Structure 1
Amino acid sequence: MIQEVSDDEVQGLAYTNSHLLATRPFRGPQCLMHWIALPFVARRFRSLKRKGLLLGVQIHTVKLPFGLCGCQEENTKGNFGEIEEDSCEQNCRNAIENSNVNIQLEMPLPTSSIVVSVDEWQTVNSGRDEIGKWLLNSDNLEFIDQIGPNSFKGVHKGKRVGIEKLKGCDKGNSYEFELRKDLLELMTCGHKNILQFYGICVDENHGLCVVTKLMEGGSVNELMLKNKKLQTKEIVRIATDVAEGIKFMNDHGVAYTDLNTQRIMLDRHGNACLGDMGIVTACKSMGEAMEYETDGYRWLAPEIIAGDPENITETWMSNAYSFGMVVWEMVTGEAAYAAYSPVQAAVGIAACGLRPEIPKDCPQLLKSLMTKCWNNSPSKRPKFSEILSILLRPSNNINR
């Protein structure tokens, strides 16, 4: 029996029988529903709170970060649309692609951040010297079309750019934000599979904005909404681009955060790159809850779901798991775990080995790759060098 527990601190579902949770694998809705229907003894959650904010709940050894319970508003992304690429930009893009293998960054990458303080009149009070050339003059930035709640197409000094407003850093508010130096190195090195960062702008009307290269093809998620299922050669090409970008990051000691189809961006030719990885973030007070998208659990590795939401960090191993989920969604054209509630799916993934069912007509190359990426033991998942060798193997008989 499942019992809903309610008190002044938290609401939710609680399960015991930790042996079953730790060992029973589930592959489909029927299996998980059968598991949920079994007689369990319900007890109260342990609430993880700080300053009145719910960070998550703990079910024995499984911690569900706040937001996986459906209490975080879903983030929406806009479509950057079809924009013609001029010959200058095309030549620049080709040059970057040709020189991609020669990109070298000084190791180790810096681990610190630049903290900048802005007052309610959108005047930078501190950190201006440290942020240097990356602070763009708002007079040179033109907002053209709004393409999402916080997204715009724009122009900066004659160059078409993508503009993203940061939540909580608006006109009329004072705030602090930080710019990560390691991500700054990665997003400005010219790697073709990592979104190019141009700078930040503190605009008197729009507040704090992140300015990047304009990705005319939108996200992979938007492409899937248009075309539903992608062709195998297109899946392999996008997956290869993504793997190249993540391998480069991992080789420099950085893991990508929240890899999913909404964060993989496409240019007008269909080439993929990793979208903004949180290079600029609003500073949060101690104990403030980290944000999760409502459906973010679909791509998260079991160890990330089960970890302490205050301290858990992504690794190349969790990146490999999320990569497998991205491939599955491109193969099926569907959202994973659509039949489950967020709590059911999160518990199933973290404690029961729940994985999506791979279609029977899926090419063996991709089926084998997904299975390896979803290994419940993080250290047994393939590194991205191995993933690339699989995708680029001449014997896979897929026309890229």
Structure 2
Amino acid sequence: MLPCQNIGDSDIVYNGVQLIIPNDCLPSLREIMTRCWDADPEIRPPLHRGRQYASLRMQRLRSVSAIPGCLRMERLRSVSAIPASTFVLHNRGQLTDLEKRDKKTEKMSRTTGSSAFKVFFVFVGRMGDPLERALMDSTVPTEGMESCEEKWKIDLEQLKMGISFEQGDSWARFGGTYRSVEVAIKILEREQLMEQQVQQEVKMLAELNHPNIVGFVGACRKPGIWCIVTEYADGGSVHQQCRPVPLKLAIKQALDVAKGMAYLHGLGFSHMDLNSHNLLIFKDNSIKISVFRGAPFENQSYRWMAPELIRRGSYTQKVDVYSFGIVLWELITGMLPFHNIEASDILNKGVRPIIPKDSRPLLTAIMARCWDANPDVRPPFTEVVKMLEKAYTQINVPVPGFRCCFAQPRTAD
């Protein structure tokens, strides 16, 4: 098609009109286009970086070229963190166990139902992701991170890669072990524009120590990639495990997040990307916050972003409080926020998630204050912690709670 048909020069210059990207466009191609035609010249990548960027994306796409088309489109969706094991999904839907790496996998269903789809995603991650190959290439020297001590440098000979259980446009997260301890491994495409941010975030990780912050194990880098290793969350992320839980547990998990964020803000740090993808569930159902982002905001991040952050205006730590309000709603209702809502609706129409009518008044007040359009109205996390602790004690009174997306009643227990 000819670009910008029936569009005048003034529309491009003064109204910021851009081409309409098809809904079925690959996320990687969408990101390349939007970065290249960004109104801010600093955002546009140099041509040699664009070529490398596209080349690596094409390698990752070719790695799934043998998968049936109806399934290939699901490659980038998040799945539950499953212990490392390799499977093959045949065209007839049969599953073959090629290599058992963990006895936990014996509990897995081998049917072609929902469990089979989980195994399919696992299989995709083991097809040889270029990010994984680049990290484990022994012919390329490994460097530590300039921003933290040498003791944090990952020894790749001690790192055993498992399956890829979650992927984004420019990163992949794997399970695995480091020095015989189960860990999560995040590998990212290395970009010059992000170098300073990644170095700062790794330095922050090395300094943090809190029961509700994901523990830092170490980091390293090679030409084209960064690798960040953290403690492993058995339950995956809150986003992956979107399902109804008892209201008391939902509030307890919200308290975990609020306490972790109060600690982070107390040290003068901001998260800037607080959402259910970065909230990890552990064996005891506690939640820890993954504070490492290291990548540009992805297409769906606006669901949790404060309006001032979407506008790219000035902002404070209160953007995290806004995000927490959305997370609290998500924990309590068991639903994805802003289904079929665009970022413009949040900015121009002030759209917020619908709070259930039977919500407890205190929880309603917390959510409404946290996601208020005025940052000054949003409470600090120290106050949020106190309000949630009060709400938690009130759960001892047995009253009906919320209803989740599966239309099952949520009760006080």
TM range (shorter): 0.5 to 0.7
TM-score by length of 1: 0.62
How far apart in 2 are the matches of 1:123 and 1:241? Answer: 39
Which residue identity lines up with residue 303 of structure 1 in the other structure? E
Q: CA RMSD in A?
A: 3.8
Which residue identity lines up with residue 306 of structure 2 in the other structure? A
Matched, 1:332 2:323: no
Query: How big is the shift at 1:140?
Result: 0.8
Matched, 1:221 2:256: no
Aligned length: 288
Query: How big is the shift at 1:78?
Result: 4.5
1:187-226 deviation digits (Å, cap 9, x = unpaired): 554311111111114479x9532110001111011111xx
Matched, 1:210 2:210: no
Which residue identity lines up with residue 209 of structure 2 in the other structure? G
**1:184 — aligned with what?**
203
Give the alignment of 1:103-142 within 5 angstroms. Answer: 122-124=140-142, 131-142=149-160
What secondary structure, in the 3-state scheme, does the structure 2 residue paired with 1:393 have? helix
How far apart in 1 are the matches of 2:303 and 2:387? Answer: 24
Which residue identity lines up with residue 82 of structure 2 in the other structure? G
What secondary structure, in the 3-state scheme, does the structure 2 residue paired with 1:221 have? coil
Query: How big is the shift at 1:359?
Result: 0.9
- More divergent stretch after superposition (235-244 vs 323-332): 323-332
Give the alignment of 1:164-175 within 5 angstroms. Answer: 164-168=186-190
How far apart in 2 are the matches of 1:51 and 1:390? Answer: 42
Matched, 1:372 2:377: no
**Mapped contact 1:302–1:351 kept (Cα < 8 A):** no
The structure with more helix, counted as a fraction of residues = 2
1:235-287 deviation digits (Å, cap 9, x = unpaired): 10111000001000111111112111111011111100111423xx4xxxxxx
**1:195 — aligned with what?**
214
1:71-118 deviation digits (Å, cap 9, x = unpaired): xx997544323799xxxxxxxxxxxxxxxxxxxxxxxxxxxxxxxxxx
Query: How big is the shift at 1:336?
Result: 2.3
Give the alignment of 1:1-400 within 5 angstroms. Answer: 6=7, 11=17, 48-50=39-41, 53=44, 76-81=77-82, 122-124=140-142, 131-149=149-167, 150-168=172-190, 179-181=198-200, 184-202=203-221, 207-224=225-242, 227=243, 229-278=244-293, 281=294, 291-308=296-313, 312=314, 315-340=316-341, 342=342, 346-393=343-390, 396-399=393-396
How far apart in 2 are the matches of 1:389 and 1:126? Answer: 41
**Mapped contact 1:230–1:333 kept (Cα < 8 A):** yes
Which residue identity lines up with residue 300 of structure 1 in the other structure? M
How far apart in 2 are the matches of 1:230 and 1:5? Answer: 52
Which residue identity lines up with residue 48 of structure 1 in the other structure? A
What secondary structure, in the 3-state scheme, does the structure 1 residue paired with 2:368 have? helix
Which residue identity lines up with residue 191 of structure 1 in the other structure? H
**Mapped contact 1:187–1:194 kept (Cα < 8 A):** no
